[in-house]
């Protein structure tokens, strides 16, 4: 009986244990520690997926056609972009009202955990030895959709934490004005 691909159980357990406790985010040090742990676990899983893709290309390079090779490398690059998105800099500032923001963040985090699991299955499916031609392209598109949903959820999460793109250039994400 074939087993479905699931993310490394110990890494998934670490990820679930690292889910933020937003009540503690009112203290800057607690917020930074909680974010570091959660983002590190997510990034580690994404990097593992990229590593699986690149290792498969290296081990079975000739078995893949040029289009498959290119798609796999692009997907690995997309995973790297997601890691960069998770590493958004800035001071964490939860928007008000706090109970609503905490509930929204919890929902986004649950979505990210599910998307990581789906991405793991998608990579496993993409690397299936019998997958070729149009089936390969369709599987790659499905995986691309999962990664796009992950990027959107990550960006939404960053905004809720006050870490929208504006934080990268020193603007307040809530007002759009320069932080003083």
Residue 116 inside a domain? The answer is yes
pLDDT band at 52 (very low <50, low <70, confident <90, very high): very high
Residue 109 inside a domain? The answer is yes
129/49 Cα distance (integer angstroms): 17
The pLDDT, as a whole number, for residue 166 is 53
pLDDT tens-place string over residues 95-153: 778 788 888 988 999 999 999 999 999 999 999 888 888 999 999 999 999 999 999 99
The average pLDDT across 31-41 equals 82
Residue 107 inside a domain? The answer is yes
Residue 177 inside a domain? The answer is no
Q: Report the predicted TM-score, pTM, of the whole model to 2 decimal places.
A: 0.82
Residue 174 inside a domain? The answer is no
Residue 105 inside a domain? The answer is yes
Q: 148 lies in which domain range? A: 9-169
The pLDDT, as a whole number, for residue 78 is 95
How many Cα atoms occupy the beta-carbon half-sphere of 107 within 13 Å? Answer: 8
Instruction: Return phi, psi of residue 94, to 5°.
Output: -75, 135
Residue 176 inside a domain? The answer is no
Bridge-partner residues for 178, per DSSP?
171
Residue 3 inside a domain? The answer is no
pLDDT tens-place string over residues 59-80: 887 778 888 989 999 999 999 9
Q: Is the pLDDT of residue 44 over 70?
A: yes
Count of domains in the chain? Answer: 1
Higher-scoring residue by pLDDT: 129, 43: 43
From 68, 76, 72, 161, select the one nearest 112 (Cα to Cα): 161
Q: Locate tokens 């955990």: which residue?
A: 113
pLDDT band at 179 (very low <50, low <70, confident <90, very high): low
């Amino acid at each position: 009986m074939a087993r479905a691909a699931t993310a490394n159980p110990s890494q998934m357990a670490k990820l679930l244990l690292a889910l933020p406790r937003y009540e503690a985010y009112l203290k800057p040090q607690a917020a930074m520690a909680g974010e570091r742990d959660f983002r590190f676990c997510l990034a580690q899983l994404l990097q593992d997926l990229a590593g699986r893709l690149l290792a498969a290309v290296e081990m079975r390079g000739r078995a893949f056609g040029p289009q498959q090779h290119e798609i796999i490398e692009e997907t690995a690059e997309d995973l790297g972009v997601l890691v960069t998105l998770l590493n958004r800099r800035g001071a964490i500032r939860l928007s008000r009202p706090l109970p609503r923001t905490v509930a929204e963040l919890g929902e986004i985090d649950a979505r990210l955990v599910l998307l990581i699991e789906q991405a793991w299955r998608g990579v496993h499916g993409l690397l299936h030895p019998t997958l070729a031609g149009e089936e390969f392209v369709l599987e790659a598109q499905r995986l691309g959709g999962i990664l796009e949903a992950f990027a959107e959820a990550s960006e939404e999460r960053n905004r809720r934490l006050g870490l929208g793109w504006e934080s990268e250039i020193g603007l307040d994400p809530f007002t759009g004005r320069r932080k003083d």
